[in-house]
Structure 1
Amino acid sequence: MSVAALVLAAGSASRMNGRHKLLAAFDGTALVRRSVEAALAGAPDRVVVVTGHRAEEIEAELAGLAVGIVRNPDYAEGMSTSLRAGIAALDPDCDGVVVMLADMPHVTGADVRRLLDAFAEAGGRAVVRAVSGGRRGNPVVLPRATFAAVLRLEGDVGARHVIESAGLDVVDVEIGAAAQVDVDTPEAVAAAGGVLKG
């Protein structure tokens, strides 16, 4: 079974007052690099990062990492455009993809691996999502059966509607608070332990 990781790092971070949350330092490492390193540590077959807003700076933070980069020129139109760009870049024989948001600082490689293992145990035919105390969160593993529907998404939406309408089993994997912590404001970055840089 071939499973990729897709890290969404294209958003314009409109609530950050001109700063870029993905360049914030967590334990001395830019958040985007931290998130991509977590994806790599989960040992998927391939890692693809979708960039957009301030792409050159984001990509510079990923120097030396074994990842594919996909530039999304339409990032300002919302998350669906990044999902579509990322899914379209996957290998034709890809059986599933773990979709990760680059602004979730506490998701670890071990969390990613647990999601991928649950996907394998389900034969690659179920949606697998991270939960915190039973509340749905991220990352989410999407099986190949959902890809066509993802490619039809429009606007600033994620894959939730696809998951709910696909008619597939959904396997929840408890990973604790990490599944719910994203950083969309300067206050959230600070509360999560980050230091804004630029």
Structure 2
Amino acid sequence: MKTAIILLAAGSSSRLGRPKQLIEFQGKKLIQKAIDEAKKSKADSLVVVLGWNHELIKTGFDSSQTSIVINESWEQGMATSMQAGLRFLREKEHPDQVILMLVDQPYVESKLLDRLILEKERTGKGIVACSYSDTLGVPVIFDQKYFEELLMLKGSDGAKKVILRNKADVFEIEFPLGAVDLDTEDDLLLFKD
């Protein structure tokens, strides 16, 4: 099974007021940390989806070593970024499954990404999602049978819509730290290392 990762990093961090992709966490910019964890995982390929101020965000990581897609429609919501990444991967990599991950979940590590791949294989489920704060969400792995459904999402619809619509085909991994995302200055104060 060929696994690809889509790292969503296109947003403008409007609530934070500065680019969260470039925030330092554990000695690295968030975007570089996420890329490093993705590359350490058992996934076969990775694409980083940028949007808002992409030239600035590119300064936060070595863009010569990583596939990048620019989502010109990033303001229309997360669905457009995920779809830009998925279209790119289908054309270039032909994956059997994709993992969606966000740039602002600082505790996502390669071990967790590997576990998504492993549990999908072990359980035979089409979706393996992380559970935290009474919900299911990213990081999440989708079998290719869900690619069309993902490509039909609109605007701010996230992958959660597809997860919840197909609950019988979902395996859950407990990941309490998935609830930590860095959206505001207060979030940052809580999670300074």
TM surpasses 0.5: yes
CA contact (8 A) 1:24 1:189 kept: no
Instruction: Give the secondary-structure state (helix, strand or coil) at the position aligned to 1:189.
Output: helix
In the other structure, the counterpart of 1:106 is 107
Extract unaligned runs of 5+ from structure 1: none
User: How many angstroms does 1:133 deviate by?
Assistant: 7.4
Extract unaligned runs of 5+ from structure 2: none
In the other structure, the counterpart of 1:62 is 61
- C-alpha distance in 2, partners of 1:186/1:39? 26
CA contact (8 A) 2:50 2:70 kept: yes
How has the CA–CA distance of structure 1 residues 45 and 137 changed in structure 2, closer, same or farther, with 3 Å as cutoff?
A: same
In the other structure, the counterpart of 1:13 is 13
In the other structure, the counterpart of 1:155 is 155
How has the CA–CA distance of structure 1 residues 65 and 78 changed in structure 2, closer, same or farther, with 3 Å as cutoff?
A: same
Structure 1, 4-13 or 31-40: larger mean CA deviation: 31-40
Structure 1, 26-35 or 54-63: larger mean CA deviation: 54-63
1:167-188 superposed Cα distances (whole Å, 9 cap, x missing partner): 651011123x322111111111
- C-alpha distance in 2, partners of 1:32/1:64? 11
In the other structure, the counterpart of 1:128 is 128
User: How many angstroms does 1:155 deviate by?
Assistant: 1.1
CA contact (8 A) 2:120 2:128 kept: yes
CA contact (8 A) 2:137 2:160 kept: no
- C-alpha distance in 2, partners of 1:20/1:185? 11
1:68-87 map, 5 Å: 68-87=67-86
In the other structure, the counterpart of 1:119 is 120
CA contact (8 A) 2:128 2:172 kept: yes
User: How many angstroms does 1:65 deviate by?
Assistant: 6.7
- C-alpha distance in 2, partners of 1:58/1:25? 13
CA contact (8 A) 1:21 1:31 kept: yes
CA contact (8 A) 1:16 1:185 kept: yes
CA contact (8 A) 1:8 1:99 kept: yes
Instruction: Give the number of equivalent residue pairs.
Output: 191
**Equivalent pairs: percent with the same residue?**
32
- C-alpha distance in 2, partners of 1:154/1:182? 23
1:44 and 2:43 aligned: yes
User: How many angstroms does 1:2 deviate by?
Assistant: 0.3
Query: Match for 1:111: what amino acid?
Result: L
Greater share of residues in helix: 2
- C-alpha distance in 2, partners of 1:21/1:111? 22
- C-alpha distance in 1, partners of 2:118/2:133? 20
| TM-score, normalised by the number of residues in structure 2 | 0.91
Aligned-pair RMSD on alpha carbons? 1.9
- C-alpha distance in 2, partners of 1:134/1:126? 21
How has the CA–CA distance of structure 1 residues 65 and 39 changed in structure 2, closer, same or farther, with 3 Å as cutoff?
A: farther
In the other structure, the counterpart of 1:96 is 97
